[in-house]
Amino acid sequence: GIQVEQSPPDLILQEGANSTLRCNFSDSVNNLQWFHQNPWGQLINLFYIPSGTKQNGRLSATTVATERYSLLYISSSQTTDSGVYFCAVEFASGGSYIPTFGRGTSLIVHP
Amino acid sequence: EAGVAQSPRYKIIEKRQSVAFWCNPISGHATLYWYQQILGQGPKLLIQFQNNGVVDDSQLPKDRFSAERLKGVDSTLKIQPAKLEDSAVYLCASSLARGLNSPLHFGNGTRLTVT
């Protein structure tokens, strides 16, 4: 069936380290967004990135739609980056307009 | 701009009781979503509204869950009767357009515990 898979499921970093989070999807997508859920549960939109590369400060994201994956890069990580990172995709088939989330990558950044 | 407002923040009920959650989306956002997030999992879509019409409710357990969006603004999600497996965070989100054509904005959620 249609799936969104994120890796790694868990990640522990020392402050200042860099990391790459991956989102694979099983079918063609119209749209893709990355979110950060902080330790208090608030979900914040990071990027709207159906294709190409975008950067916002220490964060950047790349989506290669033809190869069905997206990457989120975190550079010089800080303790405030801790939380769960989700990708959400809107699959192209059937005109569904349904945002489907992956299971997330849980990130802990130690001082 | 004001964000998506949800209430209550927390609710504890016994199984077989009923409960209702309320959501006020960002002003001007035509699309409203209710998601269920079980601990350790990603949000799962329950229902999507476009203005006051239902776009998708294929994953809503209709025997016990109901939702409405009167006048295309506020929305309520109801569970009756609740089961233990309904314990989760219920998230409301809104966006300008359907799907992921525009950024999704989430409220703080309602944490439901069913005992």
**Mutate which of B23, B41, B100, B106 to disrupt the A interface (most A C-beta within 10 Å)?**
B100
Alpha carbon of B23: minimum distance to chain A alpha carbons (Å): 15
Q: Which of B112, B113, B115 is nearest to B7 (CA)?
A: B112
Give the confidence band of A94 by pLDDT, cuts at 50, 70, 90: low
- Chain B nearest-CA residue for A85: B42
Say yes or no to pLDDT of A74 above 70.
yes
Which residue in this structure is represented by tokens 């945002």? A99
Alpha carbon of B10: minimum distance to chain A alpha carbons (Å): 12
Tell me the CA distances in angstroms from A30 to A20, A92, A93, B30, B101, one per residue in order.
Answer: 23, 5, 9, 19, 8
- Residue A82 amino acid letter: S
Among A41, A45, A97, select the one facing B105 at the smallest CB separation. A45
Q: Which two tokens stand for residue B3?
A: 């964000």
Residues of chain B with pLDDT under 70: 1
pLDDT digits (tens, 9 = 90+) for B73-98: 999 999 999 999 999 999 999 999 88
